[in-house]
Amino acid sequence: MLGENYSLAASYLAEADVIVAGGGSAGFSAALAAARQGAKTILVEKNAILGGVATMGMMMSIGNHICTGDDRLAIRGIPEELVDRLARESGTNPNWKSAKHQHITFDIEVMIDLMYRMLSEAGVKILINTTVTDTLMDGNRIKGVLISHDKAGRFRLSGKTFVDATGDALLAAQAGEVCTLNKDQATMLYLLSDVDLDELYEFLRTHQEQYPTHLDHDSTFAEFEKNWLENGIFHTPHGGGLIYSFIQDAVKEGGYKKQVGNIGGLDVLGLFGLKQNKTCLINSNVLFVDCGDPWQSSSVEIEARGMIKPCVDFFRKAMPGFQNAKLVSSAREIGLRGWRRIHGQYPFTNSEKGKPSRFPDVVWCGPCIGWAESKIPAEKFFGGGLKYLGGQVKLNTMHDVPFRALRPNNVPNLVMASGKSYAGGCLRPIAHCLAAGQAAGVAAALAAPLGDFDKMDIRSLQSALLRQGVYLGDTQRLKELGL
């Protein structure tokens, strides 16, 4: 938060009802929902493309937290619309509405283009290459933000309500909200082309004992096979490399290292491929980043990028189908899983995500997640902490997410969108970030004339979310809520 003299040195650029800081999955959805709710909305994104971790970080796969175990759609609204439109534009497979479809792997370029078009259709004003550098305060209320365009310099924006979708709880911290800081667990993702995924599929078909059934997501070889042969989506769970003989034999014989310097988990190997593109995304390496230390975070990110080439060289030699693989792109930024978080008015936890909890201020529902234990001791993977690695199992029930989880304690006109920056980060999968963004955006539009989320009627918010296609429960539940 800066003093009046400093902020006045930046010229005034625009005002809006709702200002959304950060254009990742959550910010995209928040800006879209706010504009559709009739608010004059500005989205500010520091990069040239939208999508955050999902595009700049190359995490081109939406975990299917959208469907319950019995194939009912839990998360609807913008997440469902976005994936349907992706599928219509050949950006993913149209058969995605099934719990057996664990990952909705998508084409990054289709996603980027679609996000811009959807926001333009709704009339969102977008500032790219523009970083929010500070909040301008009036007591404990945010009255504006200072922004810095990479070429044009510094400006002020004023607004009525603000959505923090930076993924770093930046607005919350700058507005004085008490936050906790974690060492971020990060991964440098990269994409290979010219991969013969049929050959890798053939290897797994003939070595089914090596298919990772209880890692990351609980999936059988038969489900993996169906997704590949019928839907053209190749997904083997994160941690699969701990089982594949072509990796682990090399680790034992000294031909491949699972830890080099600060970069660990080089053998964990989650794979995401799209038949239509003959590409394969590699999700394999784990490092810990102190985001509060610019030298440390810069050096480990550079170190992680430096490990890509040796890993690709090894895959070309040892991995079935990767003989001709070429590195097409490394992530433009390292994928961060969550650094700074608010406590929030309701500290929603992982255990609530795992049981059918009910809240009167529900703003979206997600499938309950159970855990299947694997036989692999977790210290092999992360170096301790967990006893065993567990696979996520989707249950047939749903849990509510309360609006209070998204609300800081001390800033009346701020709402959080990114699932990385509240609820201990347990709502960080992309589908939840999209759902949270929609809830935050509609709320921001409704609260703008009041300038205070606490004065907003929660039933009005829920009714507006229902009108935008969000699922808040069955008919009986809606009756109980008075909706």
Residues near ligand FAD, by CB under 6 A: 21-27, 44-47, 52-54, 57, 59, 61-63, 131-132, 165-168, 170, 187, 189, 283, 335-337, 418-420, 428-431, 433
Query: Rounded to the nearest whole angstrom, what is the least distance from the CB of residue 252 to ligand FAD in the complex?
Result: 27
Nearer Cβ to ligand FAD (153/255): 153
Nearer Cβ to ligand FAD (173/250): 173
Nearer Cβ to ligand FAD (44/243): 44
Query: Rounded to the nearest whole angstrom, what is the least distance from the CB of residue 44 to ligand FAD in the complex?
Result: 5
- Nearest Cα residue to 235 out of 93, 108, 334: 93
Give CA angle at 116 (110, 118), nearest 5°: 95
**Contact (Cβ atoms closer than 8 angstroms) between residue 106 and residue 393:** no
Nearer Cβ to ligand FAD (54/250): 54
Token reading at 304: 């992680």
- Nearest Cα residue to 126 out of 144, 147, 151: 147
Query: Rounded to the nearest whole angstrom, what is the least distance from the CB of residue 97 to ligand FAD in the complex?
Result: 16
Nearer Cβ to ligand FAD (23/320): 23
Cα–Cα distance measured from residue 271 to residue 236, given in angstroms and rounded to the nearest whole number: 5
Nearer Cβ to ligand FAD (52/402): 52
Nearer Cβ to ligand FAD (24/239): 24
Query: Rounded to the nearest whole angstrom, what is the least distance from the CB of residue 427 to ligand FAD in the complex?
Result: 9
Token reading at 219: 């999936």
**Within 10 Å of residue 273's Cβ, how many Cβ atoms?**
25
Compute the Cα dihedral for 166, 153, 162, 408 and give only its sign.
Answer: positive
Token reading at 462: 């829920």
**Contact (Cβ atoms closer than 8 angstroms) between residue 345 and residue 407:** yes
DSSP state of 73: B
Query: Rounded to the nearest whole angstrom, what is the least distance from the CB of residue 389 to ligand FAD in the complex?
Result: 15
- What is the enclosing helix (H) or strand (E) of 185? strand 184-187
Judged by DSSP in three states, 282 sits in strand
Query: Rounded to the nearest whole angstrom, what is the least distance from the CB of residue 476 to ligand FAD in the complex?
Result: 30
Query: Rounded to the nearest whole angstrom, what is the least distance from the CB of residue 145 to ligand FAD in the complex?
Result: 9
- Nearest Cα residue to 418 out of 164, 211, 212, 197: 164
Nearer Cβ to ligand FAD (250/365): 365
Nearer Cβ to ligand FAD (270/463): 270
Which residue type does 11 have? S
Query: Rounded to the nearest whole angstrom, what is the least distance from the CB of residue 473 to ligand FAD in the complex?
Result: 23
Cα–Cα distance measured from residue 102 to residue 99, given in angstroms and rounded to the nearest whole number: 6
- What is the enclosing helix (H) or strand (E) of 83? helix 78-88
Nearer Cβ to ligand FAD (164/400): 164
**Phi/psi at 410 (nearest 5 deg)?**
-120, 0
Query: Rounded to the nearest whole angstrom, what is the least distance from the CB of residue 353 to ligand FAD in the complex?
Result: 13
**Contact (Cβ atoms closer than 8 angstroms) between residue 130 and residue 148:** yes
For 22-152, list the strands marked E by DSSP: 41-44, 61-63, 103-105, 125-127, 130-138, 141-149
Cα–Cα distance measured from residue 224 to residue 207, given in angstroms and rounded to the nearest whole number: 14
Query: Rounded to the nearest whole angstrom, what is the least distance from the CB of residue 294 to ligand FAD in the complex?
Result: 14
